[in-house]
Structure 1
Amino acid sequence: MTQKEMDYERIKQSIEYISENYIKQPELNEIAEHVHLSPYHFQRLFIRWAGVSPKKFLQYLTIENSKQKLEESSNLAEVAYDVGLSGTSRLHDLFINIEGMTPYQYKQKGAGITIYYDFFISPFGKFLLAVTNNNKVCSIQFADDEIFAEEELKNQWFNSTIIRSREKTALIADKIFNLKSTDPIQVLAKGTPFQIKVWESLLKIPFGQLTSYQSVAELINKPKALQAVGSAIGNNPVAYLIPCHRVIRKAGNISQYHWGETRKKAIIGWEASYLEVV
């Protein structure tokens, strides 16, 4: 296990511990003891990872903070329009362009496409990155289990030729969690027209902001299709780049994430922390 993986594992354990013991508001010493570090070293680890103290970080994960974020983005269409005009939507987000497969490609289920993949380390643990032979990202999965992640990739693209290659994937992997990168990234999304419409709408949620499933449904002019919208978000094949982690329940609860609730909390807090320190 690399140092980055060990750091995230301790961050994950601390977030889980705080969530489970939220009512009694555990002190720094108690949380540090739970992850087997001294308070000094735990504080240093957390600031190195998030840029802010554990106490500050936790404020971003409260229901009260989530509700405030939801209120700010209650009309996601207006937020997206305003952010687009000001240009701040790309201040921290990478420029992502989703390209849906043609009906023929979708019917062929990836036949004739060569896909290269490998595993890399992010601030949120190991992830699998897969790209096509023309450098379009077609899958990102957080991978606690490499074998399971490989099987998921094969199930998504079972008619494609799949090859493990560091050389073909490393340059793109370096850009994904680099908040200073301005290079555009192309995404090839394998989904229905409805799913792609939902995924495209997620790109309109500004960095560090949150919105509700209802707001996403309204943005795509399907206000009554909450279940279908939730299903499309849950089937997002490109973690982080298509920011499904920014969608939470209307009540402010941070839950429902394909790669784990704790990881979703970590990403939300990490983005909010970055805005705090820049």
Structure 2
Amino acid sequence: MQRLYRLLKKDNVSTSPEDLICYGFDASRIQVMPMAVVWPEDTEDVVKVSEFAYENDIPLVPRGAGTSTTGGAVPCRGGIVISLERMDRILEVDTDNLTVLVEPGVINGSLQKELGTRGYFYPPDPASMNFCTIGGNVAENAGGPRAIKYGVTGDYVMALEAVLPDGRLIQTGVRTPKGVVGYDLKSLLVGSEGTLSIITGIRLKILPEPQSIITLLVSFDDLRASGDAVSGIISSKVIPRTLEFMDREAIQAAETYNPCGLKDAEALLIIELDGDLKT
């Protein structure tokens, strides 16, 4: 462990009980006590820690913000948690080619706000977007309400920089809309939950913001009718930006938390449409 302390800055390594407890679980509520927590500041730090863990046969588990409900960030007992939250820079916004280059610790919502000031947006919008990280989104291939029209994280990952378990650094993917030569290692890493590599750089595709967004709330007194409405919307070739369903139990839970006069509805559809003003 003394060697681990020498690899990074003093404040970037911790074995204190409070840190081990806080970084020993994620939103899955599974908890395992790690041996140490490290906070790399750049790719070189990740390489150093990976080499150390590999040479000493110590499990190394990457972590974003710990919002996953699948246990992706839960450490192995006696392992090291490598938290990427301090690698949080937006490195490049390339509006000429509609791409953005970010470090893994960038918060999804922060990226959305930065792009919004320029008239662009990044479609994947997990429910935890205001505190989940892009690196975590890539590791989990996260989606959100806009997935029905725009897809999930993997549909927007163009290229990745990643550190392999033994510390080797790789670059995979392309910067162009078309890239069909060679093995698609990028797609192998997306959704791998940190089991194959630690992602240290991410190039994403972005889109121009639509000119208009309209939100609709539709209530139903029959559950089957709400399902028929969903099928009708899709079959009519209208693809909503979002299309969320709530049954009676979900409505009552929401009403209990914040009454808004919908307690008698059997089902609700929350619909968002976007597009150009001319259409």
TM-score (norm 1): 0.27
Q: If each structure's strand is expressed as a fraction of its own residues, which one has the higher value? A: 2
Higher relative contact order (CA 8 A, sep 6+): 1
Q: If each structure's helix is expressed as a fraction of its own residues, which one has the higher value? A: 1
> Higher Cα Rg: structure 1 or 2?
2
